[in-house]
Amino acid sequence: MVTGADVTTTRLEAELAELAGSVPDPELPVLTLGELGVVRGVRMHDDGHAEVTLTPTYTGCPAIEAMSADIERALTGHGIPEVRVTTVLAPAWSTDDISAEGRRKLAEFGIAPPRPHAAGGPVPVTLSVRCPNCGSTDTELLSRFSSTACKALRRCTSCREPFDHFKEL
């Protein structure tokens, strides 16, 4: 939540935040936006409009517009007359913001979840990535860039299956 400690969240705002968080990600529909960690909060304004703050995974993520439209639809469907989605950059989103449940779903979907961050920087090299198909840790990097900006392409040297890895950011 970006709301400061001195600002209380009303019951309606909490309810709407949960609703916005339950919207599926447009590119990875197995995950909700809440599990992805991109919904920062909902605030009701005095004129009756709801402001949802959303943060992009990557600055150029083309899914952000679809996310905004889906959130607007979900909240207006819940009786909120006007919804405005604001995009914020700070604090920057990190793959550490993906919930444990989100990581489990990614692996189940065949995408190796991101590793937790090492202290040294955004490109960890030490921990191995586990193959989501056979579970082997014997995997190799094919390309740092894959089907979307947030994924890298790897191959399992045990079962030989190529797979996407949600790379650390």
Partner 1 sequence: MSGIDTSAGTTTAAALALGDDALILSHRLGEWAGHAPVLEEEVALANIALDLLGQARILLSMVGDEDELAFLREERSFRNLQLVEQPNGDFAHTIARQLYFSVHQHELYAELARGDGPFAPLAAKAVKETAYHRDHAEQWTLRLGDGTEESRTRMRAALTALWKFTGELFQPVEGLDGVDWAALEERWLAALTDVVERAGLTLPEGPRTGAWAAGAGRQGLHTESFGRMLAEMQHLHRSHPGASW
Site for partner 1, rule CB under 8 A: 56, 58-62, 88-94, 121-123, 142-149, 153, 167, 169
Report the C-alpha gap between 54 and 41 in whole angstroms: 8
Give the strand order in the sheet containing 151-156. 111-112, 162-166, 151-156, 139-143
Report the C-alpha gap between 78 and 56 in whole angstroms: 24
Residue closer to partner 1 by CB (options 108, 140) is 140
Residue closer to partner 1 by CB (options 5, 90) is 90
- Secondary structure in 3-state letters for 77-116: CCCCCEEEEEECCCCCCCHHHCCHHHHHHHHHCCEECCCC
Residue closer to partner 1 by CB (options 9, 148) is 148
Shortest distance, position 123 Cβ to partner 1, whole Å: 5
Apex 128 CA angle, 169 and 56, nearest 5: 15
Shortest distance, position 56 Cβ to partner 1, whole Å: 8
Residue closer to partner 1 by CB (options 110, 122) is 122
Shortest distance, position 169 Cβ to partner 1, whole Å: 5
Shortest distance, position 163 Cβ to partner 1, whole Å: 14
Residue closer to partner 1 by CB (options 122, 135) is 122
Shortest distance, position 81 Cβ to partner 1, whole Å: 27
| 128, 137 contact by CB (below 8 A) | yes
